[in-house]
A and B are shown apart, each in its own frame.
Chain A
Amino acid sequence: GQQLNQSPQSMFIQEGEDVSMNCTSSSIFNTWLWYKQDPGEGPVLLIALYKAGELTSNGRLTAQFGITRKDSFLNISASIPSDVGIYFCAGQWSGTASKLTFGTGTRLQVTL
């Protein structure tokens, strides 16, 4: 199946720095989702976006639904060590069961 292009593939940053990652698609979606996955755990939903142009925050996280409906970005401000993990974007088109198309993931590592 299709995977969305997510960049960067991995990031190594210092605690306190801001992080930005993005996700692009060749097709449009009507929902964009961002998940975080810790090693050995299942993905946890961070932010859901439902409208083109929408900007949504969840604590230090901010995500935007691209105006073309083909992209989304996630920013993390003032990173802390527990931000370490893999971040996945996912696009959803409302239809039968609304299957997800996932990004390739961004691995974030934070140093003190």
Chain B
Amino acid sequence: DVKVTQSSRYLVKRTGEKVFLECVQDMDHENMFWYRQDPGLGLRLIYFSYDVKMKEKGDIPEGYSVSREKKERFSLILESASTNQTSMYLCASKSGGYQPQHFGDGTRLSIL
């Protein structure tokens, strides 16, 4: 079974802090994704990566950056956290072609 592990289930940070969310997958997948999920807005893609050190912006990249130094790990960085970044963050990974995305359990992030 595919295992996508997010480092924290719940996180509370303060406005202005630099926040790191980590995601690790164990299936040698090329593609990894970061989403945020908000009530009424569904899942929105922040960034994705299709290879090590490669990244592309999704639909809502503002205020975020990402890092993929190793194939199995994809990090989401909030450069200077703001209260409007309070949300559920979901990481996903997939292999190439038609294969589906598999999601982690999510990190519920609160910015105070």
On A, residues with C-beta under 8 Å from B are 1, 3, 30-31, 33, 35, 40-45, 48, 50, 88, 90, 92, 94, 96-100, 102, 104-105
Contact = CB atoms under 8 A, between A and B. Distances in A.
Interface of B: 4, 6, 31, 33, 42-45, 48-50, 56, 58-59, 90, 94, 96-106, 108
Contact of B100 (A48, A96, A104): A48
Contacts of A1: 44-45, 59
What is the predominant secondary structure among interface residues of chain B facing chain A?
strand
B48 A97 contact: yes
B90 A100 contact: no
A33 B100 contact: yes
Contacts, number: 64
A105 B42 contact: yes
A42 B104 contact: yes
A97 B98 contact: no
Contact of B98 (A40, A92, A99): A92
Contacts of B43: 43, 88, 100, 102
Contacts of B59: 1
Contacts of A33: 100-101
A2 to B, nearest CB: 9
Nearest to B41: A3
Contacts of A44: 103
Contacts of A48: 100
Given A41-B105, A94-B98, A96-B56, 12 more contacts: A40-B108, A43-B43, A45-B100, A45-B101, A45-B102, A98-B97, A98-B98, A98-B99, A99-B48, A100-B43, A102-B43, A104-B42
Contact of A100 (B96, B101, B106): B101
Contacts of A92: 98, 100
Contacts of B44: 1
